[in-house]
Structure 1
Amino acid sequence: MNDLRIEGLTKAYGPDGDVLRGLDLTVPGGALAAVLGPSGCGKTTLLRIVAGFLRADAGTVTVGGRLLGGPGTHVPPERRRIGIVPQEGALFPHLSVARNVAFGLTGPDRGARRRRTEEMLELVGLAGYGDRMPHELSGGQQQRVALARALAPEPVLVLLDEPFNALDSALRAGVRADVRAALRATGATALLVTHDQQEALSTADLVAVVRGGRVAQCAAPEEVYRRPADPWVAGFVGDAVLVPGTVADGTATTALGPVTVPETAASREGTVLLRPEQLRLAEPAGAPARGTVVDVRFYGHDAMVTVDVDGLGAPVDVRAAGPVTVRPGEAVGIRVTGEATLHP
């Protein structure tokens, strides 16, 4: 399988411009990994080094056991067998859809190239679109053509550079699902660079959260969300509720009441991490914690209720499903469900 292995990758722009600082990342063959991080963390630099457009200052890039970049080695981009899906498709405007897809195909057999092109268009749900021009397609269709073009030469690795950025929210989810299905159908190994947390969690098999030029955590999406490596990762990949707590016998004593933590957590003080959906609104009487509603934000499928909790000194967010009847100024109770994680 064409696994991707990045070890000790370092890149600086100028004497004080370190971007990557010994980054390590392994993507198993056939997996889709999302590289997630804030602006300036090194995502784009990482992608350009893997593609061969930039040379790293140190470290190695290996795909399927083949060294593509390292000390004394730099395989040029055209010889790396890496497909790239850029932002906004970047199709050749003067070529038809079929000729765009066939652009990277070589060999004298025109029939084989035509069959491969048709096969790729069918894979991305655009069978029969070969004679159209790029300007006749929607943004989502253009992105699927760009994916078909990247997959046509059977690359060892596919790089996706924030490919859904230009799509509106209604279209984005469908195109993401189509891209994921096409990658899985071909068994391609892929690296998706994004700053969209929802996109990373819902699309990828692995999520690598990058902070300051290094991978802060790399794990399955649910693992990153449920058991983040530290409070910064927790806050970056979703909404987080952080409260001080003292642990004893698998239970943390907090201003929100008793909270279950992993049995491996030692008896100590630390920061208890919860997600807003783990908090439940309740009647004030008898609730482990009480407070006053500060704000209510309605999102359709749920609502976020901000509560100023008595004795905590800071408001917390409660994600409530269904109709929410509470209003700012009302007294409410809070109960905690599920297990929290504990951080120093």
Structure 2
Amino acid sequence: MTTNLALVLIGLALVPYAVPALMPTWRWWLAVTCIFGSPLAALWIQHWIVSSRLNYNEGPGGGLGVAFWALVTTGFVTGVVVRGFTLLFAAYGLRLRYVLAVGILGFSIVPALIVVPTWWHDWKMRPASEACRAATFRVSVADAALSIPATSFWNIYLGRTSSRDAYYLESNISQREFCNASDDGRRPVRATNIWLRLRNFGLVTPALCTGPVADWAKTYCNAHEAAKRGGDDKIDFPLNIYLFAPDEVILGEFGGTRSTYQDSLKATPQSGDVFVTSDASSGTEPLTFSCHQINTGYWCGAFYSWRGGTHLGYTFQSSREEIAARGSRIDAETHKFLSGFEPR
């Protein structure tokens, strides 16, 4: 937040603060509270009713309006409360200098309400330390081990459910927390599931796609760049990659399964899924894709046992006639990409 903007925001809040805070008597204080407080209360009640509607759309300027009136209301309510306390203290014979001290302290509450949350947000979002950003995490899923750079975009889950013990390396907060959990990569970590999404928050370019790009990461980097333009389903790379221990996770949370090939053997016409088996092999069984139709194409996924008790899964979009061929190419690209995370 720039200094000029901070001063403007503080000014917006201090003016309505000063109106009740400078009232000389209880009657004046009560009158001002009713005269100005009632319209503000009515305004927020109306906003609550309107915003509760299913078709509510605040429009491009709605957020600014809400922020403006929130500042005005915060300043006014703070002024009412502070002046109420000072009048109460004065009625009980508290010395004038103490009453003035309370008023001045209350005057500082308004800028604090604006500055402190902004400072706290900036502090939470601060980058990780240099040692953390340079770390390589030793992460195992079942018996498969990987070396994951801190600056990659993997999500790492340590528990059975994704709602707990989850770390998102793209986030500064999560990156710092995972560095603490792993002692900046010096301590191995056992995970239940790790997930790579091609679509990332903010679509920030991953560090491994800046500067010279390793051969194993080229297709991923090309697909990531295409995702910024909305063409993330045009390059032969999966939209999601999962490495997981099936007995240690809730498979339904990410649409996982032990084997799409085994699922295809038990499928019925009523299931609604389309199973496509390619000429390629997953290693122990035919490479099989489970698909369902979306718009004019299909959303497909393949899941199977990978290595050391770890299962591999990935998803992609394709036209109906291209599922087998495109899925086979994506499977090969997935294995090539994962080879870059093998421990050296």
Q: Is this a same-fold pair by TM over 0.5?
A: no
Q: Which has the higher contact order (CA 8 A, sep 6+)?
A: 1
Relative to total residues, which structure has the larger strand share, 1 or 2? 1
Structure label with greater radius of gyration: 2
